[in-house]
Structure 1
Amino acid sequence: MLQISFAKQVMIWLTVIVGLTLAMPNAFYGRVEAHNDATYNAGTLISGGATQEEIDAMAAGWPSLLPSGLVNLGLDLRGGAHLLVEVQVTDVHESFLENFWPGVRDALAAERDTVGFVTREDSPAGELRVRVSETDGIARALELVRGLGRPVQSFTGAVASNIEVTNTGPVLTITLSEAEQVALNDRTMAQTLEIIRRRIDEVGTREPTIQRQGAERVLVQVPGVGSADEIIKLLGTTAQLTFNPVLGRTTDPDQTPGSGNVLYPAADEEGVFYILERRPVVTGEDLENAQLDFDQNGAPAVSFRFNTSAAREFGDYTLENIGSPFAIVLDQEVISAPTIQSHIPGGSGIITGRFTVEEATNLAVLLRSGALPAELTFLEERTIGPELGQDSIEAGRIACIVAGLAVLIYMIMGYGLFGVFANIALIINVGLMFGLLSTVGATLTLPGIAGIVLTIGMAVDANVIVFERIREELKTAKGPARAIELGYEKALSSIVDANITTFITAVILFTMGSGPVSGFAVTLGFGIITSVFTAIFVTRALIVLWFQRTRPKTIEV
């Protein structure tokens, strides 16, 4: 008998109501987006000049009890910045060898009687050259330096040392092994991706695309920003913060700082350079927090706080060096060189300078998110204007309307009242699809709109199969109720088979593809899920409700 249990009907219509409720915020996109920004990015809005009253008004534009999830618009719909950057992983190799040198020096110095005096030689990038004075101690020196290596698993699965040590006479040459280079590059790229994501997320941008491209490149797409320069300024700074002891000042840029020291320019004093100890007291990696603040004169500044161990080291250093200057260095520029007036035990401080509010806010973001492990080179940059995105949205909307109307008219002309039921299910289907996209926070791109248009066309396929089966059963079945029931039963396997194969294709496209391909796959996959649900359950529920009310003796499909 043609019927659906009360419990099943409740579940079907409850699912429809929940899905349409989740999709509803997209009909009031501007108001909901302003509400979300005021709720989740109030700090960013305030630093950008918004008042608390304006933020409260934005938050009140949408009831907090209602869902506020939106389908995020991609770069091609909203406009924004597109960047392709290359990570200079060789910088990390050089930094590794630079940090490896003190260990080599100490290990060889401990056996000076055997290897003699140890000096560091000038070497090309990617190498560390060390000279020992006793040629008879070369073998022992090789053994000691190789012993400093650490095991690393190569791409073949074998375990090898992270360094390779050779000698030419009394000079030892230390380089990274191939396995360590691969592992170091992977770690560098993973860290770079995470820090880029943190920096962009902290300034309140919506749904950026950050993907690794090849071995050493990263694709960054940020919808909603006015210019690619904004993102370049945010990403172009490595934000390597260090606190170094000051040995002197000079105006000679060519002055030799001496072994173990560096010469860095002053950020605020043109022509002034500081001679600093190369090894810092503490670094920005030890920061627990950094945020916008104001100094005693009301000028923008950045306050910071170290973690427990770094706070202790910093406190001990300030206690032992009262009256001596120390430098706050950001990306090899001395932004401040104050004199230590007293013991600083708490591990907190403030960075002052000629900052604007925006510059101080960005510096705080950079310090909180951490230093980039390597410099970024911008290979490609372009800004997509919002006008182009709006044109794409209008074109996509027209395509959806035309496709939808064509399908609606065809179904009514082809199947009469049953076509009306299919059309109602189609409208619900589109709403449920947007509800799913909003729930997962998916990004809608122009190819995604193509996926929606395709879904509209495919959505009635299942209904067409069912209705055709009902037509066939009407010729042999005893009555319309039995014909409808058999039509759904016999069409089910065909519907499931056809949609499973298409869904598998969508999964493969999403897994293997990137960018526009992924956007198309997401909408196609969600469209298949909602289409099957509406065709098998919603349309049938509508037919059952109609049939139980009217009890027709014959039906026209």
Structure 2
Amino acid sequence: MDKSLKWRIILIVAVITISCFYLAPSLFTLPSWWVGTFPSEKVSLGLDLQGGMHLLLEVEIEKALSNTIDEKVSDFKDIFHKERIPFDRIERVGNDKLLVEILGPAYKEKFNQMLENRFYDLEKLSFDEKEGIATYTLGLTSRSREYLEKFAVDQGLETIRNRIDELGLREPSVQKQSKDRILIQLPGIKDPKRAIDIIGKTAYLEFKIVNDEYDINEALKGDIPPDCEILYQRREDKKTGEITKNPFLLKKRTLLTGKHLTSANVRFDQFNMPYVALSFDSSGAKRFEKITGENIRKRLAIILDNNVYSAPVIRQKISGGGAIIEGNFTTDEARDLAIVLRAGYLTAPVKILEQRTVGPSLGRDSIRQGIKSIIIGGAAVVAFMMIYYLLSGIVANTALCFNILIILAALAAFKATLTLPGIAGILLTIGMAVDANVLIFERTREELRTGKTPRAAIDSGYAKALITILDANITTLIAALFLFQFGTGPIKGFAVTLTIGLIASLFTAIICTRVIFDYFLSKRRIRKLSI
């Protein structure tokens, strides 16, 4: 046997064997010893094939900027009190600006030094001085603004991915799309409402002091102290579904946030009622100890996304960096709250732009119709090749089977997701794979008509058709790569299977079929081609 032919046969056998190993977990129930020794990943089915949920979220970047400015307001007030700098107002203006009014021109130099040394991410936008009041308008620098906008989306992406991982879903897809959007696909999800609640919750945890010195009824009438705000505690009756709101007058200043949170776990009290136990890092623990030490006999409100969960009275200084959230939870509600707190809060809220849910029955119908289309289309191609090209058509059909095997094995190996458009890509690939063989066979027929021997006709047929086959497949491959780069969801699924199919069809049409012909011509000494 020709040495070149021998190595080509070894290559084909190796590719087919590896493909079978990767595809086996998707077709058979394998023994336990297989896992860990051989590939065990199955071909993943997309939303349109197994059912699930598709979400497109938009990150509200402007909110991230306003939150950052709010933190700067709090920082400035703390420093001004500590440095004994008199001021009239420090407040946010719009989403990304800060107004500072200092009493006394003598403190201008001290403020400028503070701004340069401690707040290098801020810049002076304007300055005015009237009647002994120095008024500064500050804004984020373009560099820090750009960083915050990118961080808000990246952090949102990571936080949402952590929350979804806690749900225990198989093969979820969470990816960034354009500048401020996140695409989420959750195949096989059983409770879409719960997933939306967990994914969309901002989970911004705050601790604020309750102002019990002022009459809440007066505040509800509109007479609210300038340093206070009204937030509500929402309670839902589990039996009737009725929601009641209990108002709280709170100091605006946030004393501690979830930024310092290290863990959140569900625990049960002596009455077997669930609550969420929190733990802070060393910095948060020190701050919490300081807060509780300075506010004994006052109420500390625990707020999540502007909803007051509880407001216990501080009896003594609390050290150790621990706190609890009680709220008449069910076990599932406490668990979901712990999930979002553990995963981290979103620096900017997200809103749902698009939501689609595909039921499992529709997915099964899609699989059935997809398989039916492949069988009918494949059978038509196989029949045509056998009738028109006789035994050579059987060679092409054998290569076609190898082609489909390699495509499915590659999807499993690369952990790609098979979607309905992906099945369309496989069908298109079947046609293109056969098209390559048609070109080769027609060229070979032309050479046979000139009186060449079968061996010479095959050599010439493959040589002359090769450039045309490569040209057709490479141009289609370029289009597929652009579809993958700029397409979304289903379009990418189509591009993936089409790309894998094109590469596989080049291998099967040019190498596999040629090896079969070379084997029969050299080993079996065939004198006439059935083509």
Same fold per TM (> 0.5)? Answer: yes
- Displacement of 1:459 in angstroms is 1.1
Q: Is the 8 A contact 2:169 2:186 kept in 1?
A: yes
1:494 aligns with 2:468: yes
Partners of 2:507 and 2:282 lie apart in 1 by 56
1:130 equivalent in structure 2: 100
More displaced, 365-374 or 240-249? 240-249
1:235 equivalent in structure 2: 199
More displaced, 419-428 or 344-353? 344-353
Name the CA shift for 1:64/1:351 in 2 (closer, same or farther; >3 Å).
farther
- Displacement of 1:526 in angstroms is 0.6
Which of 412, 425, 429 is the matching residue for 1:455? 429
Structure 2 segments unaligned to the other structure (5+ residues): 236-243
Partners of 2:194 and 2:156 lie apart in 1 by 18
Query: Matched residue of 2:246: which SS?
Result: coil
Partners of 1:3 and 1:62 lie apart in 2 by 35
- Displacement of 1:395 in angstroms is 2.4
1:362 aligns with 2:336: yes
- Displacement of 1:315 in angstroms is 5.9
- Displacement of 1:192 in angstroms is 1.7
1:43 equivalent in structure 2: none
Show CA shifts across 1:40-79 (max 9, x none). Answer: xxxxxxxxxxxxxxxxxxx979977553322322222333
- Displacement of 1:361 in angstroms is 2.4
1:280 aligns with 2:252: no
Q: Is the 8 A contact 2:69 2:92 kept in 1?
A: no
Q: Is the 8 A contact 1:188 1:373 kept in 2?
A: yes
2:486 equivalent in structure 1: 512
Cα RMSD (Å): 3.8
Name the CA shift for 1:446/1:93 in 2 (closer, same or farther; >3 Å).
same
Partners of 1:137 and 1:313 lie apart in 2 by 32
Partners of 1:302 and 1:60 lie apart in 2 by 38
Partners of 2:456 and 2:393 lie apart in 1 by 19
Show CA shifts across 1:86-139 (max 9, x none). Answer: 3322222221221222444467678878xx5443368555443222333x5597
The alignment covers a number of residue pairs equal to 517
1:120 aligns with 2:120: no
Query: Matched residue of 2:99: which SS?
Result: strand
Name the CA shift for 1:298/1:91 in 2 (closer, same or farther; >3 Å).
same
Q: Is the 8 A contact 2:69 2:98 kept in 1?
A: yes
Q: Is the 8 A contact 1:163 1:174 kept in 2?
A: yes
Counterpart residue type for residue 452 of structure 1: I
1:23 equivalent in structure 2: 23
1:433 aligns with 2:381: no
Show CA shifts across 1:295-342 (max 9, x none). Answer: 444443444443444445556766888887644432233324456678
- Displacement of 1:527 in angstroms is 0.6
Which of 61, 80, 94 is the matching residue for 2:52? 80
Query: Matched residue of 2:467: which SS?
Result: helix
Counterpart residue type for residue 17 of structure 1: T
Partners of 1:110 and 1:354 lie apart in 2 by 40
TM-score (norm. length: structure 1): 0.79
More displaced, 397-406 or 103-112? 103-112
1:147 equivalent in structure 2: 116
Query: Matched residue of 2:138: which SS?
Result: strand
- Displacement of 1:443 in angstroms is 1.9
1:550 aligns with 2:511: no
1:164 equivalent in structure 2: 125
2:398 equivalent in structure 1: 424
Query: Matched residue of 1:505: which SS?
Result: helix
Partners of 1:554 and 1:66 lie apart in 2 by 44
Counterpart residue type for residue 95 of structure 1: N
Name the CA shift for 1:487/1:300 in 2 (closer, same or farther; >3 Å).
farther
More displaced, 507-516 or 334-343? 334-343
Partners of 2:494 and 2:59 lie apart in 1 by 29
Counterpart residue type for residue 344 of structure 2: G
- Displacement of 1:414 in angstroms is 2.0
Q: Is the 8 A contact 1:226 1:385 kept in 2?
A: no
Partners of 1:360 and 1:541 lie apart in 2 by 64
Which of 426, 451, 468 is the matching residue for 2:442? 468
Q: Is the 8 A contact 1:77 1:392 kept in 2?
A: yes
1:224 equivalent in structure 2: 188
More displaced, 464-473 or 529-538? 464-473
1:96 equivalent in structure 2: 68
Counterpart residue type for residue 153 of structure 2: M
Partners of 1:108 and 1:244 lie apart in 2 by 20
Show CA shifts across 1:1-25 (max 9, x none). Answer: 9664434422321111111331233
- Displacement of 1:215 in angstroms is 4.8
Partners of 1:491 and 1:151 lie apart in 2 by 66
- Displacement of 1:420 in angstroms is 0.8
Partners of 2:391 and 2:432 lie apart in 1 by 20
Name the CA shift for 1:519/1:166 in 2 (closer, same or farther; >3 Å).
farther
Name the CA shift for 1:476/1:407 in 2 (closer, same or farther; >3 Å).
same
Counterpart residue type for residue 67 of structure 1: P
1:69 equivalent in structure 2: 41
Name the CA shift for 1:375/1:550 in 2 (closer, same or farther; >3 Å).
same
2:365 equivalent in structure 1: 391
Name the CA shift for 1:491/1:294 in 2 (closer, same or farther; >3 Å).
farther
Show CA shifts across 1:252-296 (max 9, x none). Answer: 463878676665444559525264572334x32333333444444
Counterpart residue type for residue 363 of structure 2: G
Show CA shifts across 1:157-186 (max 9, x none). Answer: xxxx65634437443333345665444323
TM-score (norm. length: structure 2): 0.83
Q: Is the 8 A contact 2:124 2:137 kept in 1?
A: no
Structure 1 segments unaligned to the other structure (5+ residues): 33-58, 153-160
Q: Is the 8 A contact 2:210 2:251 kept in 1?
A: yes
Partners of 1:67 and 1:471 lie apart in 2 by 43
Counterpart residue type for residue 271 of structure 1: N
More displaced, 297-306 or 6-15? 297-306
Name the CA shift for 1:422/1:122 in 2 (closer, same or farther; >3 Å).
closer
Query: Matched residue of 2:55: which SS?
Result: strand
- Displacement of 1:397 in angstroms is 1.9
Partners of 1:545 and 1:343 lie apart in 2 by 87
Query: Matched residue of 1:460: which SS?
Result: helix
Name the CA shift for 1:422/1:440 in 2 (closer, same or farther; >3 Å).
same
Name the CA shift for 1:468/1:308 in 2 (closer, same or farther; >3 Å).
farther
